[in-house]
Structure formats: structure tokens, C-alpha cells
Structure 1
Amino acid sequence: MNRRIFAKQTALGTMGLALSSQFALSQTSLKNFVSKRPPKQERLFTSESIEQVIKKVKKQLKDPELAWLFENCFPNTLDTTVFYKEENGRPLTHIITGDINAMWLRDSTCQVWPYIPYTKKDKKLKKMVAGLINWQADCVLVDPYANAFKKDISEKTHWINDITDMKDELHERKWEINSLLFVIRLAYEYWKVTGDTQVFDDNWEKAMVLIYDTLKEQQRFESPGPYSFMRISQSANEVVANNGYGRPTRKIGMIHATHRQDDACVFPLYVPDNLMAVVELKHLAEMFENIRNNKKHARLCLEMADQVDEAIKDYAIINHRVFGDMYAFEVDGYGSHILLEESTVPNLMSLPYVGACSVEDFVYQNTRKWLLSDWNPKFVRGKRDEGIGSTHYAEPPKMIWPLSTISRALTANNEDEILFCIEQLKRSNAGTGFIHESYLPDNPDKFTRPWFSWVNTYFGEMILILLKKHPELLS
């Protein structure tokens, strides 16, 4: 099919679905929605600033169901997942994901991310986020290759028998580049918003140096490094090739990983994480320079960022026969690549959200058109809904992951598409008042993970962003 005709038909198909959402958003006014939040005395952490935001936004949102979802979802991390304490005056915050009693470095950053703008005027909230920065630094120092950590070493984990260097503090030890990148992202945003540098002590700097060393190690210029991972499993998504090191690669400057978003990489050079690495290495360089006066590591971080950026431009942008120049999902440096998509962050859809490119960037726009087409093997289309699934569960059935629908709304450049995404997200709650990990597009009652805090908070963040960028759309 002609490239232009195909792209036009794809866009019109989505637009046609979207046009119905304005009507749908106005049809909930007769319903009565009761808060699904825990009683006040059972909430793990409270913030007066966040409570004020909830009251304000509920008044702005004219759709009662949307307001109800925001009220339930936005504070879900604080209500149900935050375990805060102080040791010798040092704040420490452990944040579980929800129905899994462990803390992922990536998830925990994303779970508190939309609260950071309010830390400047809310001392209690500020200490909670500072406590997470401290706990994440401690986790990195335990093992920079681990993705998920226990709250207490006495807790049991399903993955104790994984063939890797498991430690008592670990829930799981999958090497995902973005685990370390989100540690940097949280610290940088906290610093920029609050101006506070007290939390960035010698312990934190030691952890940041270890992050740099680990990323450098995984460029694999000299060796595969010390990390490998194997798991006894019948699922291909759990198996890392080549005795746990990943498939062979040319050493082009991109950072290697065995996993991305809990699943084993096909090729070790995962493009979205490497694009995010360029952003966060520059942020880390700025912090080394201005907070710790560590000019050596500031320079080294910038040098690595340039290496990764150059390699992405040379090896990770491919020419698709229909969509033109676009980002590959994973590459090996020899010229091989796969085209696929994940639904969490970072993925190809969310690249502008993590600052890796602008929404208008032509390579990103071509990639986005591919993502929302039948050329994407993870694109799911039902009778009413469409979205992107995940490699995380075996198919069939094909499930839509709301995380990606939220990322789609945040990167959309027209209001009809945004409304279409919002209407899908509303339907996906299936009357529970919360957003879920995944669901069947034609049967939202069939969903996974009823308590998945990250997607709830991300939904709340989306509402706040859209109210600011498109105030007339929702209010």
C-alpha cells in the first residue's frame, strides 16, 4: 500500500473512534460515585497539599466519573504504598508497587513523580521524597544491577533460586538500565523543585558514582561485566540468551541490558532506555558539577551521553518501508533490529515524556504512527477500544495496558485523540474506581492487578497535565 494512503487511513480510523468521546464524557452526570480511598485512619501517608489538589481538581472536572477516578487514583501511592521512617534523623521511604510487596526503583520514582511539584511548600511531603532518594541510594549501593528490593530482609521472595548473585535485600535481580536512570531522574527533579541539597551527601554521591561505573561497565567495551542472569522457566520472556549475558553485540557505545520492563531482551541494546540514558547522564553531570563539585564525573557522564547519543543516531534509527525513518525497539549493533513495543515507561511512545525528544520530532512522529498501526505486533484493536499491549504475558488473549494509553494521551497533538484515550481509561476501570495493569478491550471486567499504584498515580498526573495544557477540554 502507498505509504501516504496507509498513514492517512490509520489516522482517520483513530479519529473516527475519537469523535464519539465528547458525547461519552458527558453521559456520566446521573451517576453517584463514592470514594474508594481507604478511611483516613488507615492511610499510610497523608499530605495536606495533595488533599487540596484533589479538592481543586474535582471542582474543575465536570464529568463526575472522571473526578471520582482522579480522587481515588491520584493519592493511591500515598494512601496505600508509602512506608516512611527516620533513622538517626535520616528520612527513609520504602514504596511498594501495590499488590506486590516490594519496591522497584523505576516504579517508586514514577509513583511519587507527580507529587514533587508540591514538595517546595509541604515539608512533610518533601521529607517523604527525600527519604525515597536516600532509600534508593542505599539500594544502589547494595546492588546496582537489581531492579526490586524488599522492605525487610526477613521477607521471602519467589526468586531466591534465580541463577544470579542474589542478596538478602533483593526481591528480584533483573538488570534494566532504567532502574538506575529513574534514581537519577528523581534526584534531579527534587533538586530543581526544592533547591535542597542536604540529601545529596557522601552516601548519595557514592551511589551516583556506582551508577556511572555500572553504565560504563555495560557499554561492554572491555568485557561483558560481572552480571549474568538465568532463571529456570518455561517462558521465553524469562530466558536470557548466551548463558545469561544476552545475544552477541558490536560494542558501539550503547548500554547493554539483559531485561527491559521485567522481560528478557531479544537484543541487549534496548533503544528507549538508551535514549533516556542520554537525558539522565546529562542531569547527573549537572548534579556532580553543581552539588558535589565532582568535575571528573561530570565530565565522564557527558562523554558517555555523547557516545550513547551518537550510537543511537547511527544504529537505532531504521528506515521502514511504510513509515520511513523511525526508532527500532532493540538492536545488536550488527544491523539486526526488532520492532516491538512495551507499555511501561520508558517505551517508544513515552519518549517525549522522559525528555528524550520533542513530540514534533519527525523520527518520533513516524515511530508513533507505526505504534498505532497494525504493523506493530503489540497493537490491540477491539470493537470500541484500541491500545498497546505488552510482552509480559503470553498471548492470546491480547490485553491493552492503560500505562501506554496514558502515554499516548500525553503525547497526542489533537484533542479528539486525547478524549478518545480518556474515554478508554474510564471504561477500563470496570466500576472499581481504579486503573489496572491490563484489560481485555471488549471486556474491561477481565483485568490484571487490581492494585497497581504506578498506573493510578500516572493517571492522576495525566489529568493534571491535561488541565494545564488543555484547560477547556476537561473543565
Structure 2
Amino acid sequence: MNIKHLLCLSLLLTCAGPLQAQKFESKRPAESERCFTSPTIEKAIATTKAKIADPELAWMFENCYPNTLDTTVDYEVIDGKPDTFVITGDIDAMWLRDSTAQVWPYMPYIVEDEKLRLLVEGLVRRQTKCVLLDPYANSFYKDMERESHWKDDYPSPIDGVHERKWEIDSLCYTVRLANEYYKLTGDASIFDEDWQRGAKLIVETFRTEQRRNGTPFRFRRSTDRMLDAPAFDGTGRPVNPCGLIASSFRPSDDSTLFPFLIPSNLFAVQSLKQLEAIFRNQLDDDDFADECKAMADEVQAAINKYAKLDHLDYGEIYAYEVDGFGNRVFWDDANVPSLMSLAYLGVHKTSDPIYVRTRKFLLSENNPYYFRGTAAEGQASPHTGKVRIWPMGIILRAMTSTDDAEITHCLQMLKDTHAGTGFMHEAFNKDDPQDYTRDWFAWANTLFGELIVKIDHERPHLLETKFE
């Protein structure tokens, strides 16, 4: 962790506690201590903040939206090309998933801000290095010769890998970032030889993890947390190979119950279609494009057959995990990809009937991980137990809502549960927001900022609300 990251952590840790005389003083690092600055983002912060009538909500937005840039970015030029490493916050490592999600709210500005464009280009190139190092790993170090913090896992991660948990979405997020960067900028230079090798390795890994011939992946950890490793000596529960892709872990980094994780499979279908378009239209590689299309169709057909299921109360909805034998679970996890986030990711429209029915189930007491407490109500995660709600779940609920009252309700809950810090957290006790996990979780912070910007663009009248 570099000196700026340490200063940021120190600042965030001093933020906890009651608001001081309602002054709402900025909790951002001093400008000289920020990891990265963008004049375009600074202008967007000032413009949007001025429209927010509630002073506490405006203060939260100012703190949260730039948090990724302020505290987590390490940008430099290596071998003549931009290179961007983005830590997740209070863990000194870069997750493929988190790093994409952390910069995603800034993507609309990269065409007008060359400095920001280079940051994203650098992240695409850094992620490519990570995929080529180990496509099964979820998080990495900047120093690719650094020994893993989890070196006692079995098999031990190679140098440069922080943690080796196989999660489908890790690879999907790298495709999501590269695809969006190209769509916005038209810069095809990112699709160099290394990127193409990485893309083909992604599809090869997806194919292997359909598990028609078993899997080389194992993960064992000495731990007292049952969710830290898959069952059966780290191989996971049995699956019936049916075209779905197995994921040993969820986006929360918890092991799956049934390895066919449906939100991640839907995300993989989207990624395969994006790869098809890139290889067909930009790289003139019809053979690989055809391979991507065939696999996307295969996975989608398996989803339609094994994951769209009748619920006793809600009709046909998505299961969260299945095994291909007919076993399934109906719940969700507040991390992204989730069933709730399918509309946010662009997998579904908010009006698609199966999404509408699934979302209705997710926000009901029939979902075992939807909690109601005296402080708030919202989606949770097995990762944080049976009493904690995730701000990310509340944010995604608002992001995917078409109802003003529901969005306003979500904003009220987010304002009520930041525990006086001005930042989002991983999770908080449904009855006591002071009981929360993670002081510095940059993804959740920046996602909250993204929500406010989205509301400003689509429903600006909601920002005129003054909350209790």
C-alpha cells in the first residue's frame, strides 16, 4: 500500500462517529494527497452537488463519488503504455470485478477527458496482464513477483496473485470494460496481441468450466468459515454438465452452494456476445467469433431450461444457483452480478416480465436474504451473516427502479445508515447502522455516486427532496 493509500485509510478511519455540528465538512483527502484527479469529474461533482437540496445527501455524494479516484488509483506509464492499478480500498489488492466497477461511473466522461481516458486504457491493459497470469484468480498485486497473502491455500497462488478464487464474473468484467472503452472511444489499440490471447483464454476457461471433462480447479483453505472453500476437498458439489458454466465462488468471494451460478452465467452470455462482435467486426476473426456465438447460445439455452423455474408464489423466475440435476435455490446476493442487478448490467430491461417477477420475489419476505429491521430493509449476503444489509443492495434496488417513491425510500435509507461517516460500507446491522463492516469500500462509495448522477439525469426532481 503506497503512502497516499495509507493517508486515505487514515482519513477514512477518522470519519466514523457522529456528525460534527451538522457542518458536513468534506471527508475527501487534500488535493495534494489524492491518488488521481480529473477536472471533468470535479466539475461533475460541483454541478450535481448544487442540485441536491438535502445537505447531508449532497455531502455524502461529494465524499463518495470521487472515492475511487481519490484513494485507490495507481497510474503510470510502463513500456510506453498506460498502466492503471486500482485497489479495492482497505485491502491492498486489485480485484478484476471491483476495479471495473470502481471506474464504471466515470466512463461517460472519458471522451472529453484525455487523462481519464488514459486511466481506463491503462486498466484494460493491466487486467489483460492479470488474466494472462492466471485466468482462475480473482485478485492480484501490482508487483507480479509478490508472494500471496494466501500462500497457505491449496494450491498455493503463484506470485502476483493475491487470491485464487474461481469466479465467472471476474473474467466477464474485463470484457465489459474493454468493450465499453472501445464503444466510447473507437480506440482499437487495446485489442493487441496480448488482449486477444487473454480473450481466447477467457473463452477456453469458460469451456473448461462447463465441466464435461471435470475441472482442474481446486481450492482448499484452512479456515473456520464454511463459505471460504467449496465442499468435497475444494472441488464443489456434483453437477450435471448441461451447458452452464460452473463458478466455484460468488461475487462476494463466498463458495457457491450449487456451482451453476445463474447471474454470472447470464453475465457470461453478455460477455461472449461482446467478444463475438469485437472479433468479427474489428479483428476479422470469424472463426473465433463463431465460437463465441455458439457458446453464448449454448449457455443461454441451458439457462432457459435449468434456471427459469416456477416459484410457488411468483410464477416463472430465475433461480440463483442450480446443479443441472434439478436442484435449485431461490435467493440472491447483494453483490454484482446478482439477479437484482441484471437490469443494471443491461442483461434485461426493467420491463422484461421474468425480470419484473424475479425482482418482486427478491424484495419479498420469501427471499431468505431480504432483511427488514428498525434501521432499514434491503438485500443482504451470506457473506455477512443473518442480520446485515448491504448498501450496495439498496443502491441497486434504486438503480433498477422505475418508481419515484421506491427510489426516494432507498435514498432515505442510505442517508439513515452511513453511521455518520459520509461513506457507504460493505454491510450494516439492520437494527444498528453503527455496527457495520469495512470503513473503506471504494466500489460501494462510487456506486452510490453513480446512483445520484443517474437520478440527476433521469429524475432530477427527486434531488429536490429534503429528507428527515
- TM normalised by structure 1 equals 0.91
Alignment of 1:4-23 (within 5 A): none
Q: Which of residues 138, 159, 168 in structure 1 aligns to 2:159?
A: 168
Whether 1:260 aligns to 2:284 is: no
Q: Deviations over 1:59-87 (max 9, x none)?
A: 11111111111111010000000001111
Q: Which of residues 27, 30, 35 in structure 2 aligns to 1:39?
A: 30
Q: Which amino acid aligns with 1:227?
A: F
Q: Which runs of 5+ in 2 are unaligned?
A: 1-18
The secondary structure found in structure 2 opposite 1:373 is coil
d(CA) in 1 for partners of 2:156 and 2:188? 34
- Partner of residue 380, structure 1: 371
Q: Which of residues 203, 210, 215 in structure 2 aligns to 1:225?
A: 215
- Partner of residue 432, structure 2: 443
Alignment of 1:117-156 (within 5 A): 117-153=108-144, 155=146
The secondary structure found in structure 2 opposite 1:325 is strand
Q: Which amino acid aligns with 1:247?
A: R
Shift of 1:290: 2.1
Q: Deviations over 1:395-452 (max 9, x none)?
A: 4xx1010111111001112111100101111112111111111111221111110100
Q: Which of residues 455, 458, 462 in structure 2 aligns to 1:469?
A: 458
Shift of 1:355: 1.4
- Partner of residue 9, structure 1: none
d(CA) in 1 for partners of 2:205 and 2:310? 32
Whether 1:207 aligns to 2:198 is: yes
Whether 1:453 aligns to 2:439 is: no
The secondary structure found in structure 1 opposite 2:112 is coil
Shift of 1:226: 1.9
The secondary structure found in structure 1 opposite 2:188 is coil
d(CA) in 1 for partners of 2:82 and 2:375? 47
Q: Which of residues 385, 395, 406 in structure 1 aligns to 2:395?
A: 406
Q: Which runs of 5+ in 1 are unaligned?
A: 1-27
Whether 1:112 aligns to 2:103 is: yes
d(CA) in 2 for partners of 1:42 and 1:384? 35
- Partner of residue 7, structure 2: none
- Partner of residue 8, structure 1: none
d(CA) in 1 for partners of 2:366 and 2:104? 33
Q: Deviations over 1:345-383 (max 9, x none)?
A: 010111111111111122212211211111111111012
The secondary structure found in structure 1 opposite 2:82 is strand
Q: Which amino acid aligns with 1:248?
A: P
d(CA) in 1 for partners of 2:91 and 2:24? 28
d(CA) in 1 for partners of 2:291 and 2:144? 35
- Partner of residue 85, structure 1: 76
- Partner of residue 188, structure 1: 179
Q: Which of residues 38, 44, 56 in structure 2 aligns to 1:65?
A: 56
> Residues 384 and 243 of structure 1: is their aligned pair in 2 closer, same or farther, counting only changes over 3 Å?
closer
- Partner of residue 246, structure 1: 236
- Partner of residue 86, structure 2: 95
- Partner of residue 265, structure 2: 274
- Partner of residue 169, structure 2: 178
Q: Which of residues 398, 422, 433 in structure 2 aligns to 1:433?
A: 422
d(CA) in 1 for partners of 2:229 and 2:219? 8
d(CA) in 1 for partners of 2:83 and 2:456? 33
Shift of 1:202: 0.8
Shift of 1:183: 0.3
- Partner of residue 14, structure 2: none
d(CA) in 1 for partners of 2:318 and 2:177? 26
d(CA) in 2 for partners of 1:393 and 1:66? 26
- Partner of residue 319, structure 1: 310
Q: Deviations over 1:202-234 (max 9, x none)?
A: 11111111111111111122x123211111222
Preserved CA contact (<8 Å) 2:375 2:417 = no
Shift of 1:32: 2.5
Preserved CA contact (<8 Å) 1:428 1:436 = no
Q: Which amino acid aligns with 2:450?
A: E
Whether 1:52 aligns to 2:43 is: yes
Whether 1:346 aligns to 2:337 is: yes
Shift of 1:55: 0.8
Q: Which amino acid aligns with 1:244?
A: G
Question: Matched residue pairs, number?
Answer: 444
- Partner of residue 6, structure 2: none
The secondary structure found in structure 2 opposite 1:444 is strand
The secondary structure found in structure 2 opposite 1:436 is coil
Q: Which amino acid aligns with 2:39?
A: E
d(CA) in 2 for partners of 1:31 and 1:165? 50
Preserved CA contact (<8 Å) 1:218 1:225 = yes
Q: Which amino acid aligns with 1:435?
A: M
- Partner of residue 10, structure 2: none
- TM normalised by structure 2 equals 0.93
- Partner of residue 416, structure 1: 405
d(CA) in 1 for partners of 2:334 and 2:343? 15
Preserved CA contact (<8 Å) 1:74 1:459 = yes
Q: Percent identity?
A: 47
d(CA) in 2 for partners of 1:424 and 1:98? 23
d(CA) in 1 for partners of 2:131 and 2:329? 30
Preserved CA contact (<8 Å) 2:243 2:299 = yes
- Partner of residue 297, structure 1: 288
Preserved CA contact (<8 Å) 2:150 2:156 = no
d(CA) in 2 for partners of 1:187 and 1:428? 35
Preserved CA contact (<8 Å) 1:77 1:457 = yes
Preserved CA contact (<8 Å) 2:425 2:441 = yes
The secondary structure found in structure 1 opposite 2:381 is coil
